[in-house]
Amino acid sequence: MVRSTLFLLATLASVQLSALQVSERVENFRLMDNQGASQELYYYSDAKAVVFMVQGNGCPIVRNAMPRFKELRDEYAAQGVEFFLLNANLQDNTATISKEADEFGYDIPILIDDSQIIGESLGLVRTGEIFVLDPETWTVTYQGALDDRLTYEKQKGEAKEHYLKDAIDDMLADKPVTVASTDPLGCLINFPEQTARAKHADISYSEVIAPMLEENCVACHREGGIGPWAMNDYNMVRGFSLMIREVVRTKRMPPWHADPSYGHFSNDRSLTPEQTQTLVHWIEAGAPRGEGPDPLAAIDHNWGKWAVAEPELGDPDYVIDIPAAEIPATGVVDYKYHYVKNTVGKDVWVKAAEILPGDRGVLHHVITTYGTVETEGRRKGRLKREGQAGLRGYVPGMTSQMFPQGTGVYLPADATIEFQVHYTTNGKATVDESQLGIWIYEEPPEHQVFSMILLNGRIKIPPYAKAHKEFAEQVIPKDALVYNLLPHAHFRGKASEFSVVYPDGSEEVLLSVPNYDFNWQTTYELAEPKLIPAGSKIVHTTWWDNSAQNPANPDPSIEVTWGEQSWEEMLFGAILMRFLDEEEVAALKAEQARELASTD
């Protein structure tokens, strides 16, 4: 969290960090907690107070203070007071923090500041420090010790001064906090970059910052891209640097929502904690230009027509037009569903498919499926749910859209292709005329891939529920390789997960998306295909936020059920996979055994 007085916004001048002060405003941030949830500070604007204690593994002050902290959490829970722990220790990580929480019975979420940028901006000094925020203004109302019971290596039988409790009582009574500040007790926290602030001005824009932005941001932030402005030179980056800092702190950008604790993905566009720290420190140093060329200004802005990574593919063998759509300058454009008869004219095996955007500035994503159309009933004109298959879709920043090596999908001549298209307005009316390019095999591929769909059409999300949970599951009948996973929900989607229950009863999370964002329909591509043995059960779980705290929620007062419109909801997951024969399974297991042996 960052106080509004921390920066000289007009000049981007270097600043000195100081301890958190009463009455200072705290800026928004988002952090993962030890329970796998994504926590955003300003989400709790409906609370009466938000209370933090700084936690650190091994700190005796924290361990001894926690029973009383938990008592206060329980006492004030019904009165709308939210309690959290915050860990910014260099030496702690998710695994060790979770172990400490289990050992000492911490059942309060511990927010993990792995890059230390939140702890630095707060000027935290010691674990055990308490700070209380007023959600109406996001200012600090109390900072200091929990009470006067604990001192270093000594403790009283009971406290005489109850600083935190008194502060909460004052706030609930709409009175100024009588004792607003005391000296915190606890273990000193090492923030090495605080003493190295003079060196932050030496972070190279040319060699460090610009290449980082080019790798993670420019695919969207380019001329004609979905990003609202183009990162085409240093001056643009410097001008937007404070905004970059804000969206990085709140994890709105880069748009990647998977928990790094589970799985590895080839299309991961997130920043590492080290990259985050470096970028924020450079911005806080005034975003200096430094020496060297400007890599962003030197980028070849001729992006090419088709983005499929393998250049030997050339232009697609067939191009199918998606019906044109008129997009207004402003407002919300609901999802559009276009149905197009396959124009290839024959049965083909597809090895690559790509959506070519007509207007990248408004085309947010496309999901492409095909199958047979219903001719009667309430789904007349829509694809039959049985027998659907998928062709690759589009999201900004997507590059390679080939199917895995040696695999493909069968596209019948009589298929109907459904394009689910999402547009975002950008201040200028336009017409989008996107296309689907298809590359085909001359001979059938060795393996056929398909999309396994997990859905639950019986979902019922209660009014005002903040984290309603439901699931769908399916047993894998044969040994299979999983290539990617796509979770899908609508405006109220909050979090999503794919897990597998193996035949021996053990469980593994394949993908956790604790901060699901309806605006980014990401397909998560596994860095290495995952072997799932026959008899395993795939479970797809979704949580929804139907409360007024969800800014995208059309109406929190209603029960929400399954529906294809964005104001309704879905529990829908797609997994790209293929089945294996016995020889392939044996070979994969032997390879895994060799890799395991090499790491022992």
Tell me: the pLDDT tens digits for 134-192?
999 999 999 999 999 998 888 888 999 999 999 999 999 999 999 999 999 999 999 99
- What average pLDDT score do residues 342-367 get? 91
Nearest alpha carbon to residue 382 among 338, 343, 345: 338
pLDDT > 90: percent of the chain: 76
Task: Look up the CATH number of the domain holding residue 567.
Answer: 2.60.120.230
Q: Is residue 75 part of a domain?
A: yes
The number of beta carbons lying within 10 Å of the beta carbon of residue 264 is 11
Q: Is residue 36 part of a domain?
A: yes
pLDDT 10s digits, 193-214? 988 999 999 999 999 999 999 9
Nearest alpha carbon to residue 521 among 329, 354, 403, 363: 363
Q: Is residue 205 part of a domain?
A: yes
Q: What is the pLDDT of residue 384?
A: 83
Looking at the fold, whether 552 and 460 belong to one and the same domain comes out as: yes
Which is higher by pLDDT, 518 or 48? 48
- What average pLDDT score do residues 28-45 get? 98
Looking at the fold, whether 513 and 427 belong to one and the same domain comes out as: no
Looking at the fold, whether 120 and 130 belong to one and the same domain comes out as: yes
Predicted structure pTM score: 0.88
Looking at the fold, whether 171 and 214 belong to one and the same domain comes out as: no
pLDDT 10s digits, 243-280? 999 999 999 999 999 999 999 999 999 999 999 999 99
Looking at the fold, whether 53 and 188 belong to one and the same domain comes out as: yes
Looking at the fold, whether 458 and 424 belong to one and the same domain comes out as: no
Looking at the fold, whether 34 and 106 belong to one and the same domain comes out as: yes
Cα–Cα distance for residue pair 374/384, rounded to 1 Å: 5
Looking at the fold, whether 392 and 360 belong to one and the same domain comes out as: yes
Looking at the fold, whether 40 and 185 belong to one and the same domain comes out as: yes
Looking at the fold, whether 403 and 506 belong to one and the same domain comes out as: no
Cα–Cα distance for residue pair 276/249, rounded to 1 Å: 8
Q: Does the pLDDT value for residue 4 go beyond 60? A: no
Confidence of residue 1 (pLDDT cuts 50, 70, 90): very low
Q: Is residue 296 part of a domain?
A: no
**In terms of residue numbers, what domain contains 328?**
311-448
Q: Is residue 340 part of a domain?
A: yes
Which tokens go with 170? Answer: 């004052």
Task: Look up the CATH number of the domain holding residue 401.
Answer: 2.60.120.310
Task: Look up the CATH number of the domain holding residue 30.
Answer: 3.40.30.10
> SS in 3 state form for 144-180?
ECCCCCEECCEECCCCCCCHHHHHHHHHHCCCCCCCC
Looking at every residue in the chain, the average pLDDT score rounds to 91
Burial 299-324 (b: 16+ CB within 10 A, else e): beeeeeebbbeeeebeebbbebebee
Helix, strand, coil share (%) of the chain residues, nearest 5: 20, 30, 50
Cα–Cα distance for residue pair 69/109, rounded to 1 Å: 12
Confidence of residue 481 (pLDDT cuts 50, 70, 90): very high
Q: How many domains does the chain have?
A: 4
